[in-house]
Amino acid sequence: MSAIRLLVLGAVRRHGRAHGYQVRNDLEFWGADEWSNTKPGSIYHALKQMAKQGLLHAYESAPSTAGGPPRTEYEVTEQGTAEYFSLLREALTSRDKMDLLAAGIGFIVDLSREEAVTLLRRRIKGIEGWRESVTAYYKPEEGPEQLGHIGEIMHMWVHSADVGAEWTRGLIERIEAGAYIFAGEDGDPFEGVLAEEHENPQEACGSHGGEPA
């Protein structure tokens, strides 16, 4: 599974209502086009698929206010919100797939501080388990160097997993030390969304509240 659905759901959710181009710009702003597959086609495809599956509700063809073709706007449904949190939790515990993890970190503050830490700890457990199974599998009969240069591949993966675990521990520490504002806490929640030119100021403050779960 790629990170695109999580990214798109998260972007739309932050706006309350958004069209494809807005999502695209946000993801670019976050640098997601560098570390994930956020080509235009993928974004529009994800929007359409998720609309078809009821995760998003599509408002057809609002005429563009700034040139270009008419645009379709989307809103996250209840079902979509559930999926969002499910994907988010999955992303934060995933061992492989740096892009998933990155997307998860981007939205981590939508969870409570405790849950964030719990999930990150689970991630470390996952890495450690994987590490054991891999090193067990690859240290068979005839000495360590019977693998030749192929051994380098395994070392690379194990090493990078170790570093990932170490980095995660650091993040947990920072979070436990009080860094950042999480869901349900006082202070400005970090938005990190590109401002829309204020065409309809009175519509800009719909509270799209926290998770029910």
Site residues, its own copies (CB under 8 A): 30-31, 34-35, 96, 98, 101-102, 105-106, 108-109, 134, 137-138, 148-150, 152-154, 156-157, 159-160, 163-164, 167, 171, 179-180, 190, 192
Q: How many CA atoms lie within 13 A of 58 on its CB side?
A: 15
135 contact choice in DNA, its own copies, none (CB below 5 to 8 Å, kind-dependent): none
With respect to DNA, which residue has the nearer C-beta, 53 or 135?
53
- Please report how close the Cβ of residue 207 comes to DNA at its closest, in angstroms: 24
**Residue 157 beta carbon to DNA: minimum distance, rounded to whole angstroms:** 17
Q: Cβ of residue 57: shortest distance to its own copies, in angstroms? A: 28
- Residue placing its CB nearer to DNA in the complex, 18 or 119: 18
The item of its own copies, DNA, none sharing an interface with residue 138, based on CB under 5 to 8 Å by kind, is its own copies
Q: Which does 41 bind (CB under 5 to 8 A by kind): its own copies, DNA, none?
A: DNA
Shortest Å distance, C-beta 23 to its own copies: 16
Residue 67: contacted member of its own copies, DNA, none (CB under 5 to 8 Å, by partner type): DNA
For residues 15-39, one letter each, b for 16 or more C-beta atoms within 10 angstroms of the residue's C-beta and e for the rest, the string is bebbbbbbbbebbeebebeeebebe
Cβ atoms 98, 35 nearer than 8 A = yes
Cβ proximity to DNA: between 45 and 121 the closer is 45
Beta bridge partners of 58: 74
Smallest gap, in angstroms, from Cβ of residue 60 to its own copies?
A: 32
Joined together, the tokens standing for residue 37 give 């597959």
Question: In the numeric block, which tokens belong to residue 203?
Answer: 């519509």
Residue 85 or 182 with smaller CB distance to its own copies: 182
List residues binding DNA (CB under 7 A): 2, 4-5, 19-22, 24, 37, 39-42, 44-46, 49, 64-72
CA 141 → CA 93, 144, 147, 154, 157, distances in Å? 33, 8, 11, 16, 21
Pairing relationship of beta strands 18-19 and 71-76 according to DSSP bridges: antiparallel
Tokens of 67: 């040139």
If we measure between CA atoms, which residue out of 29, 55, 39 comes closest to residue 3? 39
Question: What residues contact 170, with CB distance under 8 A and at least 6 apart?
Answer: none
Looking at the Cβ atoms of 6 and 127, the one nearer to DNA is 6
